Amino acid sequence: MNAQGTAKVTTKIVDPEIPRAGDRREVQVAVGVLIRPGQQFLMTSRPEGKAYAGYWEFPGGKFEPNESLEQALRRELIEELGIVVGTVWPWREEVVDYPHALVRLHFCRVFDWQGALQMRESQSHVWASLPVTIEPVLPGSWPVLEWLKASPELLAHPTVD
C-alpha cells in the first residue's frame, strides 16, 4: 500500500529478451476472477490464433471506447462465456509488458452469475483451486494466484453492508 492507502501498481515484463513490437500504448483489459463455493475459481485457455495460445488465464478482454470497467467485463463475459454476471467487485490492477502489447489488467472478483458456461471462443476451462496444477499459466495471471495464496479469505463471498 502507498501513502494514499491504495495498492501500488507494478509493471511485470514478460520475455524481456524478445523485442517489443507495435503500438506501446497501454491496452485496458477487464478481467473476471469468477469464484464459486469451495474456493474454486475459473480459468480458461487462450484460444488458437491469439498470442500465448493454450496458456491458462482468467477470462476477460479489452475495453471498448467509452466503456467503464464494469461494462467491459460484463460484455466480455457474455461474449466469451455466455454468462451474465451479478455484482462486480473491482479488486486490483497490474501492468504487464508483453512483447506484443502493453496491457493494464483490471482484476475484478465475481461471485454470482446467471447462465451455463459456454466456451464461445473454443477455449477450454477448469475450476481450479490453490495450488494451481494446470500449466502453462499466462504471466499476467500469476499475480492473482499470488494474491489469493497470500490472502485465501479473498475466495470467500464478501459481505454486503
Reference 31, options 100, 77, 86; nearest CA is 77
Residues 6 or more apart whose CB falls under 8 angstroms from that of 118 comprise 81, 82, 83
**CATH code (residue 69):** 3.90.79.10
Q: Please indicate, yes or no, if residue 20 is contained in any of the structural domains.
A: yes
Domain count, the chain: 1
Q: Are 121 and 153 in contact (CB under 8 A)?
A: no
Place of cell 470497467: 69
Sequential pLDDT tens for the chain (161 residues): 444 445 678 788 999 898 997 778 999 999 999 999 999 999 999 999 999 999 999 999 999 999 999 999 999 999 999 999 999 999 999 999 999 999 999 999 999 999 999 999 999 999 999 999 999 999 999 999 999 999 999 999 886 54
Classify residue 160: in a domain, yes or no: no
Q: Which domain holds residue 139?
A: 11-155
User: Per the structure block, which three cell numbers stand in for 122?
Assistant: 473454443
Q: What is the pTM of this model?
A: 0.91
As a whole number of angstroms, the distance between CA 44 and CA 26 comes to 23
